């Protein structure tokens, strides 16, 4: 392992400088919300999609737009509404009478970063069109299949409080998001700073500081981060503890979980733990990296029973209990 660490150390240091530049640009617009910004960058490097949940007005959309501005990539925003059609998202074929043929008009999905705003407001057929594109990285328009650009990242937002006129995402579709973030309120000092900045008419300019090629390079370096077999065992134990709680001395969770996390959770935990180590400037993964990313990877993959809901427990409570109990290597 020491050989890998020594070999990767200079590359990780160089990439850390690039990430610092991106964070500096983003901080011109976004006050606080370091957790959300870090997870957006993590999803980009880990090549996974992200679902952001929070009440209106917490800068979810602004953060995504600002990250896109700091990256030299394409960006499209789609406001999901109940009357949205799949063709509005992926594109359609248009008949050209002068040529007597059909022309493909691509939709906003053909962008590097796609912001799906209020994803739970669109009907199921639009959600499934988006989620198919997320999974396959390609879309079919008419009889032709079109590859989506690389990098391709879907950042979806949803408000938890507005239940009227919403179509909740089915569990199978939510599982395709690598991370689900819960965004909270800023603290007093941050809110004062937001107030000061918003009082000014001057809006800061964001410089693009990271090109798609550099994102691909970061992915290659993060892939080579060392994952010890003991940490691999720990990841698998954590995921299995959500499926078979009694085996891991978690009998009290037995009646609270209907379905545990899928194998996708193990894959994403390993990938995001590597990126967490990379973003922390390390060439190896520690169990703490797994604990840091664990709640964001697992919270939307555990289906709670009615009993858990009756006790007012959330999937975050269950995940926390799992991490508190499973033995750390």
**Residue spans of the chain under pLDDT 50:** none
Query: Are residues 72 and 189 located together in one domain of the fold?
Result: yes
- Rounded CA-CA distance 141/174 in Å is 24
Per-position DSSP letters for 91-106, written without gaps between them: EEEEEETTTTEEEEEE
Residue pair 130/119 in contact (Cβ under 8 Å)? The answer is yes
Query: Are residues 177 and 286 located together in one domain of the fold?
Result: no
Residue 279 belongs to some domain of the structure? yes
Query: Are residues 226 and 188 located together in one domain of the fold?
Result: no
What CATH number has the domain bearing residue 160? Answer: 3.40.50.300
Name the domain count of the chain. Answer: 2
pLDDT at 161: 58
What CATH number has the domain bearing residue 307? Answer: 1.10.8.80
Q: What residues contact residue 216 under an 8 Å CB cut-off, 6+ apart?
A: 150, 151
Residue 116 belongs to some domain of the structure? yes
Q: Which domain holds residue 264?
A: 222-325
Q: How, if at all, do strands 303-304 and 257-259 pair?
A: antiparallel
What tens digit of pLDDT does each residue of 159-169 get? 775 666 677 78
pLDDT at 59: 75
pLDDT at 3: 63
What tens digit of pLDDT does each residue of 129-154 get? 888 888 888 888 878 888 898 888 89
In this structure, the dihedral spanned by the alpha carbons of residues 41, 44, 46 and 50, taken in order and rounded to 10 degrees, is 90
- Rounded CA-CA distance 301/316 in Å is 11
The Cα-based distances of 172 to 70, 98, 135, 208, 224 in angstroms read 32, 45, 12, 35, 30
């Amino acid at each position: 392992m020491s050989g890998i660490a020594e070999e990767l150390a200079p590359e990780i240091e160089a990439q850390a400088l690039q990430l610092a530049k991106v964070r500096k640009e983003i901080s011109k617009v976004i006050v606080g919300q370091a957790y959300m910004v870090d997870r957006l960058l993590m999803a980009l490097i880990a090549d996974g999609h992200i679902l952001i949940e929070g009440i209106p007005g917490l800068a979810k959309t602004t953060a995504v737009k600002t990250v896109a501005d700091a990256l030299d990539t394409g960006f499209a925003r789609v406001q999901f509404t109940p009357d949205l059609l799949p063709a509005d998202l992926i594109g359609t074929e248009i008949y050209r009478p002068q040529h007597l043929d059909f022309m493909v008009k691509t939709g906003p999905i053909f962008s590097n970063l796609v912001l799906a705003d209020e994803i739970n407001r669109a009907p199921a057929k639009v959600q499934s069109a988006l989620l198919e594109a997320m999974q396959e990285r390609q879309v079919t328009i008419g009889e032709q299949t079109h590859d989506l650009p690389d990098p391709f990242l879907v950042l979806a937002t949803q408000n938890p409080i507005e239940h009227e006129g919403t179509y909740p995402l089915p569990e199978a579709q939510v599982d395709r998001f690598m991370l689900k973030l819960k965004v909270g309120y800023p603290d007093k000092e941050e809110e004062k700073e937001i107030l000061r900045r918003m009082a000014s008419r001057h809006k800061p300019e964001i410089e693009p500081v990271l090109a798609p090629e550099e994102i691909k390079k970061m992915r290659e370096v993060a892939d080579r981060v060392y994952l010890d077999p003991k940490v691999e065992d720990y990841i698998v134990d954590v995921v299995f503890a959500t499926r078979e709680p009694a085996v891991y001395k978690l009998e009290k969770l037995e009646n609270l979980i209907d379905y545990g996390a899928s194998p996708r959770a193990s894959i994403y935990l390993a990938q995001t733990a590597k990126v967490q180590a990379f973003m922390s400037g390390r060439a190896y993964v520690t169990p703490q990296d797994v604990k840091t990313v664990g709640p964001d990877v697992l919270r939307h993959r555990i289906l709670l029973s009615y009993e858990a809901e009756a006790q007012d427990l959330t999937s975050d409570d269950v995940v926390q209990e799992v991490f508190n109990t499973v033995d750390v290597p």
